[in-house]
Amino acid sequence: MAIKTASGSRLSGSLPAGLVLLNTTSFSGVASVSLPANTFTSTYKNYRILMEFASSGSSGTVKSRFRTSGSDNSTSNYQEARIYSSGTSVGSYRAGNATSFADVTPTTTKILYIMDILGPQTTTTTLVDGAVQYSIESSSAIEWSNYSASFSLTTSFDSMSVFASATNMTGTITAYAYNN
């Protein structure tokens, strides 16, 4: 692969270390959205997902699941631990044997998810570390949640889905790969 420099000369070799843009998926008024099939491949080991949502205005729970060959994996093999701030209180939460991860129940219309996914294409436990932030537009407050999650079986995934209950979502999901 050749890389063009600012002066117009070409460099040969592989891409430098950093994030590689894989795809951006836009959606409007939907209850669920999935990254394209084969977003996660054997070309890269680790990924960063950046999601921005603007819901229809009603509150509902937003959750994530991994996918293989076009189907969500909804088995009870997701684990999650989270610390969060809501209003003036701080709390924690842990879920084992769940059917999804990154569950948040915002009372807002704008949500930012950032998640790093380690090894979704490998046949080892898939690990996730992330953060969710949302603004409470009626009170100008910020709520946030930092979480760690895993899928405890040795399943290889090629994509993921995000879905909501009691609301529809509008926004974008951008997938990047870490190029080591």
What's the pLDDT tens digit per position in 126-135? 999 999 887 6
Domain spans, the chain: 18-179
Q: Answer yes or no: are the C-beta atoms of 23 and 35 closer than 8 Å.
A: yes
| Per-residue model confidence (pLDDT) at position 109 | 62
Q: Say which CATH class 18-179 falls into.
A: mainly beta
Rounded-to-integer distance, Cα 89 and Cα 70, Å: 39
Q: What Rg value do the Cα atoms of the chain yield, rounded?
A: 17
Look at residue 9 in the predicted model and tell me its pLDDT.
43
Tell me whether strands 18-30 and 141-151 are parallel, antiparallel or unpaired: unpaired
Q: Which range scores top for mean pLDDT: 50-64, 103-117, 125-139, 161-175?
A: 161-175
